[in-house]
């Protein structure tokens, strides 16, 4: 937690649940990434946290943006981004959204199928397009692999026909999976992209861009390699495969820009036991799976939790949300221990919740108000 967040929590005692977010941390994370990978253009993945203050700060730093919908494109434009600095990176787009983006001046689009390529040709004639290829997502706590990406053979065929459709086939992309903890995943993916680059060049299509996607991890309960380790691996692989004919490099970080800039403050609603002597206490918070903590599905993302009693004796707990849905459990298998003194009414802090939380909150499921957001 940053000093700014700590001061706000102490002075303002905001109503829970809420996200308290330090914009200076976003700036520090962005600058650190740009320093580590100076040759890569940063396209912030808007979905990680689309709040206007975040987008505005990133515009002021010269960030570009990866948008998943026309609504996200509109948010970027409203924050001051130029159409030329926005990529429509979702491979699944309605024709109407493509048309709206094209009319708004968006030039760069992702696809991973023949069907989507045809849609782009029809609704965004002349656009620059890149094909997302399927890569291994091993090592990612929040994998994306099964839903996206074309097999190499299909990608080759699609890139060959994009020109005939009146589009500009500019490059290839991949995503190694979110919260990716292995630098080797990028190396392997770059190897696959490079092979296809060579193959397509021999067939007469010269690509100029590689989009390395996102995936860079945030620090939750476990330590992760730092951004310099990823940068070293990426530049090593790029140089090994492309020599001094490096293509333009794009990265689309989401999580690593915003996760550690935010803290969710939550009130303990109930601490109870299922049976009289059960050593495991159930801790029910006023935020759960439906209040924005969707990434606790399969206990994939394990947030660090701070309480007012830290340092005192602790015991095992299961942690759940406040709704009447049985799926609203955050952690039951992951060993969590919280202080014995923890009681209803206490305020706990979930750290690293600046990414993938606010927008995952449901529309008042069980009547609960979605979490408030404070951008400092
Ligand atoms: C979600 C997403 C990202 C951001 O991923 P992070 O793991 O948050 O860095 C980047 N690119 C695309 C296409 C995405 O879908």
Structure confidence by residue, pLDDT tens digits, 170-203: 999 999 999 999 999 999 999 999 999 999 999 9
Exposed, middle or buried, 61 (CB in 10 Å: 0-12/13-18/19+)?
Answer: middle
pLDDT at 143: 86
Determine what percent of the chain is predicted with pLDDT higher than 70.
100
Q: How far is the CA of 347 from the centre of ligand 1 (A)?
A: 31
**Same domain, residue pair 72 and 151:** yes
In the numeric block, the tokens 């003194």 are attached to 341
Task: Give me the active site residues, please.
Answer: 324
Sequence-separated (6 or more) residues with CB below 8 Å from residue 11: none
Q: Quick one: which atom of ligand 1 is closest to the CA of 90? A: 13
178 CA distance to ligand 1 middle (Å)? 7
Distance 176 CA to ligand 1 centre (A): 9
DSSP letter for each residue of 73-114: HHHHHHTT--GGGEEE--S---HHHHHHHHHTT--EEEE-SH
Q: How many domains does the chain have?
A: 2
In a domain, 28, yes or no: no
Nearest CA to ligand 1 atom 3: 214
Whether 64 contacts 43, CB under 8 Å: yes
Q: Is 348 exposed, middle or buried (0-12, 13-18, 19+ CB in 10 A)?
A: buried
Protein residue closest via CA to atom 5 of ligand 1: 214
In a domain, 351, yes or no: yes
Please identify, among 211, 230, 253, the residue that sits at the C-terminal boundary of a domain. Answer: 253
* Mutation pick for ligand 1 pocket among 68, 88, 135, 214 (CB with most ligand atoms within 8 Å): 214
- pLDDT at residue 321, as a whole number: 98
Ligand 1 atom 13: residue of nearest CA: 89
Residues 184 and 322 both lie in one domain: no
Instruction: Look up the CATH number of the domain holding residue 169.
Output: 3.20.20.10
DSSP designation for 368: P
Q: Tens digits of per-residue pLDDT, 331-347?
A: 999 999 999 999 999 99
Could you tell which of 45, 72, 131 is best to mutate to test the pocket of ligand 1, judged by most ligand atoms within 8 Å of the CB? 45
User: Are 221 and 301 part of one and the same domain?
Assistant: no
Which ligand 1 atom is nearest residue 253's CA? Answer: 9
Domain that holds residue 116: 50-253
For the segment 78-83, the average pLDDT, to the nearest whole number, is 98
Q: What CATH code is carried by the domain that includes residue 293?
A: 2.40.37.10
Query: Is 7 within the bounds of a domain?
Result: no
Among 237, 253, 269, identify where a domain stops.
Answer: 253
Pocket test for ligand 1, best of 42, 50, 66 (most atoms within 8 A of CB): 66
Of 253, 273, 295, the residue at which a domain comes to its end is 253
CA atoms within 13 A on the CB side of 340: 5
User: Do residues 115 and 95 lie in contact, with contact meaning Cβ atoms separated by under 8 Å?
Assistant: no
Q: Work out the pLDDT band at 352, boundaries 50, 70, 90.
A: very high
Q: Report the separation in Å between the CA atom of 43 and the middle of ligand 1, taken as the mean of its atom positions.
A: 10
300 band by pLDDT with thresholds 50, 70 and 90: very high
State mean pLDDT over 100-127: 98
Three-state SS letters, 240-254: HHHCCCCCEEEECCC
Report if residue 45 sits inside a domain: no
Note whether residue 141 is domain-resident: yes
pTM (2 d.p.): 0.97
- The pLDDT score that the predictor gives to residue 144 is 84
Residue 203 CA, ligand 1 centroid: distance in Å: 31
Closest atom, ligand 1, to C-alpha of 215: 7
Ligand 1 environment, Cβ below 6 A: 45, 47-48, 66, 89, 175, 178, 213-216, 252-255
- Residue 277, phi-psi category: left (phi > 0), alpha (psi -120 to 50), beta (remainder): alpha
Q: In the predicted model, what is the mean pLDDT of residues 199-215?
A: 97
What H or E segment, with its residue span, contains residue 209? strand 209-211
What number does the ligand 1 atom closest to the CA of 91 have?
Answer: 13
Residues 213-246 pLDDT 10s: 999 999 999 999 999 999 999 999 999 999 999 9
Q: Do 202 and 85 lie in a common domain?
A: yes
pLDDT at 145 over 90: no
Q: What is the whole-number distance in angstroms between the Cα of residue 253 and the centre of ligand 1?
A: 6
Domain assignment present for residue 83? The answer is yes
Integer Cα distance of 23 and 28 in angstroms: 9
For the CA of 177, the nearest atom of ligand 1: 7
Structure tokens at 74: 């509109």
Measured in whole angstroms, the distance separating CA 52 from the mean position of its chain's CA atoms is 17
């Amino acid at each position: 937690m940053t000093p700014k967040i700590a001061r706000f929590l102490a002075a303002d005692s905001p109503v829970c649940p809420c996200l308290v977010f330090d914009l200076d941390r976003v700036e520090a994370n962005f600058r650190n990434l740009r320093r580590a990978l100076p040759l890569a253009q940063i396209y912030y993945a808007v979905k990680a946290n689309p709040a206007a203050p975040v987008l505005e700060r990133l515009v002021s730093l010269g960030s570009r943006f990866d948008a998943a919908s026309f609504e996200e494109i509109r948010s970027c434009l409203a924050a001051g981004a130029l159409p030329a600095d926005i990529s429509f990176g979702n491979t699944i787009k309605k024709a109407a959204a493509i048309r709206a983006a094209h009319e708004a001046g968006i030039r760069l689009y992702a696809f991973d199928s023949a069907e989507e390529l045809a849609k782009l040709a029809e609704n965004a004639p002349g656009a620059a397009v890149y094909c997302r290829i399927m890569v291994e997502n091993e090592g990612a706590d929040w994998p994306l692999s099964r839903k996206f990406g074309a097999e190499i053979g299909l990608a080759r065929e699609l890139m060959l026909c994009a020109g005939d459709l009146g589009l500009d086939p500019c490059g290839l992309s991949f995503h190694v999976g979110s919260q990716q903890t292995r630098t080797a995943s990028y190396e392997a993916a770059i190897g696959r992209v490079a092979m296809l680059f060579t193959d397509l060049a021999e067939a007469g299509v010269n690509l100029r861009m590689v989009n390395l996607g996102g995936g860079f991890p945030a620090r939750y309960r476990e330590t992760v390699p730092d951004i310099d380790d990823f940068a070293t691996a990426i530049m090593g692989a790029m140089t090994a495969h492309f020599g001094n004919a490096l293509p333009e490099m794009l990265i689309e970080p989401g999580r690593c820009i915003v996760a550690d800039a935010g803290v969710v403050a939550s009130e303990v609603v109930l601490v109870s036991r299922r049976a009289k002597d059960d050593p495991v206490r159930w801790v029910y918070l006023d935020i759960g799976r439906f209040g924005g903590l969707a990434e606790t599905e399969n206990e994939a993302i394990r947030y660090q939790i701070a309480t007012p009693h830290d340092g005192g004796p602790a015991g095992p707990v299961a942690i759940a949300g406040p709704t009447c849905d049985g799926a609203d459990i955050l952690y039951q298998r992951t060993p969590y221990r919280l202080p014995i003194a923890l009681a209803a009414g206490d305020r706990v802090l979930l750290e690293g919740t600046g990414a993938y939380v606010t927008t995952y909150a449901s529309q008042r499921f069980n009547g609960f108000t979605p979490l408030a957001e404070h951008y400092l």
